Structures are given as structure tokens and as C-alpha cells.
Amino acid sequence: MIFDELKALVDLYIGYQDNKKKDQKEKNFDLTLLNLYKLGQNGTRGISEDDLKDIQGISRTNLVLAIKQAESIGLIIDISSHDGRVWMLSNDGNLYVRALLADFKNN
């Protein structure tokens, strides 16, 4: 199921980050983008605010900060409608996440 895959991905990510000793802000940023990628069916659909509330390993505040940071540098786009807030990875965001995943596999 997707949540089993997501948990495995998060576990892999946490182990990788512990080895690299990235600061917490970078960890939150990468974890947020990885979740957007996985929950968004490998970056092909948008993720609503409700979809993000169940993410483990990052506080709601840090999640919002990471989303705002990613928006400001063009890695995600806001595709919100009258139904609520929705975000989707941009082409550059998909490229960034695929590079992260390749780094995980190589380490």
C-alpha cells in the first residue's frame, strides 16, 4: 500500500540524513518534497492540505515553512481552487526529488 511505501521511503530518508548530518531545516524541506512526490503519485497529481496532515516526522509548522520555501524557489506550485489549498511539484521539483532518491540509492 502507498503508506507502507511512504514509511519505507521516510525511514530510508531519515537514515540517509543522519549519515549526512543535514540541519533540521534541510531535512524538513527534503521530507516535505518527498511526501509531496509520493502522495502525489510520483509527482503527477496535486496534494491537498488534508492529505498533508497525516505526515509523520515533521511538525505542521515546519511543513508550512518548507512548502513556502519550496514555492519561493519554484519547486512546487500552488494549484488551489475553491475547494481548498492544493500543491503540486513543478518540473524542477520532480527533478529535485528524483535526484534525492538517486542519492539515497547510491549511499
- Beta-sheet strands, E only, within 1-107: 47-48, 76-78, 86-89
Strand pairing category for 47-48 and 76-78: unpaired
User: In the predicted model, is pLDDT for residue 21 greater than 60?
Assistant: no
59 SS3 class: coil
Q: Which CATH number fits domain 2-106: 1.10.3470.10, 3.20.20.140, 1.10.10.10, 3.30.505.50?
A: 1.10.10.10
- Give residue 9's pLDDT: 78
Task: Look up the pTM and report it.
Answer: 0.74
pLDDT tens digits, one per residue of 48-69: 888 887 777 888 888 889 999 9
- Give residue 4's pLDDT: 76
- Give residue 97's pLDDT: 95
- The region that residue 92 occupies, defined by phi over 0 for left and psi between -120 and 50 for alpha, beta otherwise, is alpha
